[in-house]
């Protein structure tokens, strides 16, 4: 049981279920480093506790599960040339791997906004529930960053080129499209979540879900597969954009216009990361890759500029460097995948738990 209702991570056990609530509703439950450590410690304890059969994860407030990492803190660290973000990501990505390998049912309520790090603490779980209010996104290219928290692993596994579309545009999807892309498993109306949470105290997820699932409201992506799967093939962002602009479907042209507002460097690194994630296959090697990419992004001008434009000043007018896709060389992209310069060990080489 959490000692204080104001704790940023609330923990309690009822019946056979352990409940974990992200509790920073004013910040849309954005993750801090202490929160990541608290979640990880709870999962270690609950996995060993024979009295716990199921873990249930949700977010406090009505707006969403989690908007991602504390991007203001990352921005401040990047401006200062610090290392706090590297330590945060190291523990966060380890947590993502723990969730994926968790030996008990891990039920994530992906209600409301679920972005970035919020995807990391939910979409790697074994039972992922979306509602009519769900808005799921990996929006990193819009702030000069690259999908992380295992996001390139998840999106690389989406049907066809749906994952490439979501990664490059950074656009959010609703319940039906999250299900289609393999980011969620079940649709449950939001009003039913409190009763489902209570039922999980004494029933398995399969039993608790019986009679509570429904058909999600119609999505958009299924109807766009014809142009998405054709236009997003290949390893060149320039060719992808050209195909989108040349396609007759207005939605394809709109996708191209969206992509062209994103960081050119982030776009090229993101596409390379997705293609390499497909080849790597398993989650842990992909997280290792993402850690190298994130470390490089922390020192890039586009992350500082993107967060300034979108979050700090909110002028929505980022000045990317380089400003055009043509200015991003293959060598510049490759630097994001190079070994860490400080010789740090891999994410999982020194774990003892």
Count the Cβ atoms, other than its own, within 10 Å of residue 156: 21
Whether the Cβ atoms of residue 197 and residue 56 lie closer than 8 Å to each other: yes
Cβ-contact 187, 215 below 8 angstroms? yes
Nearest by Cα to 146 from 301, 260, 277, 293:
293
Catalytic residue among 59, 64, 68, 69: 69
140 given a catalytic annotation: yes
Of 77, 148, 177, 185, the active-site residue reads: 148
Burial class (CB in 10 A: 0-12, 13-18, 19+), 278: middle
For the chain, the straight-line distance linking the first and the last C-alpha, in angstroms and rounded, comes to 22
Out of 70, 111, 140, 161, which one is annotated catalytic? 140
Catalytic annotation present for 69: yes
Could you give phi then psi for residue 72, rounded to 5 degrees? -65, -40
Phi, psi angles (nearest 5°) of residue 188? -135, 130
CA dist 227 and 246 (Å) reads 11
In the set 68, 112, 116, 117, the catalytic residue is 117
Is 148 known to be catalytic?
yes
Rounded to whole angstroms, how far apart are CA atoms 9 and 201?
A: 19
Q: Which helix (H) or strand (E) holds 198?
A: helix 193-199
List the catalytic residues: 69, 117, 140, 148
């Amino acid at each position: 049981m959490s000692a204080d209702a104001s704790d940023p991570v609330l923990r309690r056990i009822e019946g056979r279920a352990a409940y974990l609530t992200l509790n920073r509703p004013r910040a849309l439950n954005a993750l801090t480093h202490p929160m990541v450590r608290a979640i990880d410690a709870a999962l270690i304890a609950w996995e060993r506790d024979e009295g716990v059969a199921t873990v249930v994860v949700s977010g406090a407030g009505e707006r969403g599960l989690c908007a991602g990492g504390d991007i203001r803190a990352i921005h401040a660290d990047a401006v200062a040339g610090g290392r706090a973000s590297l330590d945060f990501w190291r523990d966060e990505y380890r947590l993502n791997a723990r969730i994926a390998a968790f030996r008990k049912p891990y039920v994530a309520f992906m209600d409301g906004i679920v972005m970035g790090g919020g995807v990391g603490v939910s979409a790697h779980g074994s039972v992922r529930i979306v509602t009519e209010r769900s808005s799921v996104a990996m929006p990193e290219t819009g702030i000069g960053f690259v999908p992380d928290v295992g996001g390139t692993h998840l999106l690389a596994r989406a049907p066809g080129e749906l994952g490439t579309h979501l990664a490059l545009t950074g656009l959010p999807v609703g319940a039906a499209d999250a299900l289609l892309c393999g980011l969620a498993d079940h649709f449950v109306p939001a009003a039913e979540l409190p009763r489902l949470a209570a039922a999980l105290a004494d029933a398995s997820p399969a039993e608790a879900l019986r009679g509570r699932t429904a058909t999600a409201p119609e999505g958009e992506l299924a109807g766009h597969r014809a142009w998405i799967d054709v236009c997003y093939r290949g390893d060149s962002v320039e060719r992808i954009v050209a195909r989108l602009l040349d396609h007759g479907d207005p939605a394809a042209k709109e996708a191209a216009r969206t992509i062209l507002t994103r960081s050119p460097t982030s776009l090229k690194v993101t596409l390379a990361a997705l293609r390499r994630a497909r080849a790597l296959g398993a989650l842990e090697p992909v997280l290792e890759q993402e850690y190298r990419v994130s470390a490089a992004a922390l020192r890039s001008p586009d992350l500082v500029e993107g967060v300034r434009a979108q979050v700090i000043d909110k002028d929505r007018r980022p000045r990317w460097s380089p400003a055009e896709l043509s200015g991003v060389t293959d060598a510049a992209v490759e630097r994001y995948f190079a070994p860490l310069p400080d010789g740090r060990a891999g994410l999982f080489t020194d774990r003892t738990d």
